[in-house]
Amino acid sequence: MKLTQYKIEKLVHGGFGLSHDTEGRVTLIEGVITDESVTAKIWQKNKQLQKARPLRIERASTHRVQPACEHYKRCGGCNFQHMDYPYQLQAKEDIIHDLLCRSGHPLLVEAAKSKLAKTLGSEQKTHYRQRIRLQIDERQTLGFYKRRSNDCVPIEYCLLARQEINSCLRALLDHSSFRQLRKRTEALELLFNPETKKVILLLHFTQKTRPADTQQATMLANDIDLLETVIVTGTDFAPSGSSELSFSLPPIPPHTDKTLTLTWETGGFCQVNLTQNQKLIQTVLNFANVTGEDNVLDLFCGMGNFSVAIAEKARTVVGIEGQGSAIRSAKRNSEIAGQSNTTFIKKPVHKACASLAEKGQVFDVVLVDPPRQGAPDLARTLAQLTTKRLIYISCDPATLIRDLASLFEYGFELITLQPIDMFPQTHHIECVVLLERNPENH
């Protein structure tokens, strides 16, 4: 086995440490920190790139800490646990800075120098996740996937999950009914309901449910106090049972002056870090800076995470989303808030935007919160729809950089790029970007 020592030059997208071997080949190493020296073993290699894992830390960073989770070296998540938390925040900012500079686009390079804000940290460093999804592999092991594998690391306790979820998981593992149900399950989700302080179990079955399954699920819900309900779903059949989750969003002066209730259906999307979600919403509201004269368009609006709060001040809000359950929740959330200035439309976002543009409709403020793949081929239409400000919320900085370059071509100017740490202990980064229309390009 050939081992090589590497000096870590910087951290890059994905959380890897970048180094070069003696032949100058780029080497990406997991579990390291900038300026460390490590002895590593290559596990993947081609002519341009190789990936490695560290065997020994020869010279450790002062920011290196002992990971708190026993599963750290095997589980595929939480790949920043070896860093102290202040450094995690700096590392995420550095990774975005590196992406901006390496883009080669002069406006993005300039943004790296003057428009990139400090990462907003999380008060909760652990036990912040409101939802976890566990897999069941071919050996019936319940857990998270190992790194670079479809085999599972058995999990009875997750450092990132809320304690209620961990307590419920332990109770499930000890229950005979659960052991029967997991034989027919490929994955499951445990979701903490902030409203009831209980946990919902969502089972993804590989087969249709039988009467015996319903009986087992009922026994689970009756026997485990923390368990609110059990829902069964699969690829070819609808959920058995139903439930709704909700949380309260406190007033965010000067944008909102009352507590808002946001609900969503089990299986629907909601940010897993609810405390940081409040910071995310506040940042979006600050950037939007709407008045009673502003018309707002919220693309990929989901269950109204931003729409409902913005509607408290805006003249009108139109939310567009392709998922039916999300639109149902958005309408309900706006109704609960007593709003009459919102419209929510179920339609693929690109098609909906093209239709709005063809009709000549324009909006003072446009929000875009796309999935991880970003919003390719939407820049031109966004330029037609936006008169003042565009706010782009991103969960993947690489696709964000790509989309920003396209937006610059259509007269948008980057004002601020704000990273928010929604996922402590991991390399994942949420960003909120404020862009304005350049009047000369209208």
Whether 241 has a pLDDT exceeding 90, the answer reads no
Residues of the chain with pLDDT > 90, as a percent, come to 82
Read off the pLDDT of residues 189-201 as tens digits, 9 standing for 90 and up.
999 999 899 999 9
Mean pLDDT rounded to a whole number for the chain:
93
Based on the fold, state whether residues 334 and 434 are members of the same structural domain.
yes
Spatial CB neighbours of 344, under 8 Å, sequence gap ≥ 6? 301, 304, 307, 318, 319, 320, 321, 327, 330, 331, 334
Q: Is residue 2 part of a domain?
A: yes
Q: For 317, what's the count of Cα atoms within 13 Å in the CB-facing half-sphere?
A: 28
Strands 363-368 and 386-394: parallel
Read off the pLDDT of residues 111-127 as tens digits, 9 standing for 90 and up.
999 999 999 999 999 99
Domain of residue 288: give its range: 249-441
Whether 36 has a pLDDT exceeding 90, the answer reads yes
Read off the pLDDT of residues 306-362 as tens digits, 9 standing for 90 and up.
999 999 999 999 999 999 999 999 999 999 999 999 999 999 999 999 999 999 999
What pLDDT is attached to residue 331? Answer: 97
Based on the fold, state whether residues 282 and 197 are members of the same structural domain.
no
What pLDDT is attached to residue 76? Answer: 77
Q: How many domains does the chain have?
A: 3
Last residue of a domain, one of 241, 261, 278: 241
What pLDDT is attached to residue 242? Answer: 67
What pLDDT is attached to residue 381? Answer: 97
Q: Is residue 81 part of a domain?
A: no
Based on the fold, state whether residues 268 and 377 are members of the same structural domain.
yes
What pLDDT is attached to residue 1? Answer: 54
What pLDDT is attached to residue 154? Answer: 92
Q: Is 431 a catalytic residue?
A: no
Based on the fold, state whether residues 308 and 409 are members of the same structural domain.
yes
Its pTM stands at: 0.93
Spatial CB neighbours of 19, under 8 Å, sequence gap ≥ 6? 6, 7, 8, 9, 26, 27, 28, 29
Whether 442 has a pLDDT exceeding 60, the answer reads no
Angle, vertex CA 168, rays to CA 166 and CA 170, nearest 5: 70
Q: Is residue 236 part of a domain?
A: yes
Based on the fold, state whether residues 195 and 176 are members of the same structural domain.
yes
Report the pLDDT averaged over residues 257-261: 94
Last residue of a domain, one of 64, 84, 118: 64
Q: Is residue 114 part of a domain?
A: no
Based on the fold, state whether residues 235 and 253 are members of the same structural domain.
no
Read off the pLDDT of residues 375-398 as tens digits, 9 standing for 90 and up.
999 999 999 999 999 999 999 999
Whether 240 has a pLDDT exceeding 80, the answer reads no
Report the pLDDT averaged over residues 272-293: 96
**From 78, 158, 301, 395, active-site residue:** 395
Whether 208 has a pLDDT exceeding 70, the answer reads yes
Read off the pLDDT of residues 53-82 as tens digits, 9 standing for 90 and up.
999 999 999 999 999 999 998 887 899 999
Count of residues making up the chain: 442
Based on the fold, state whether residues 284 and 221 are members of the same structural domain.
no
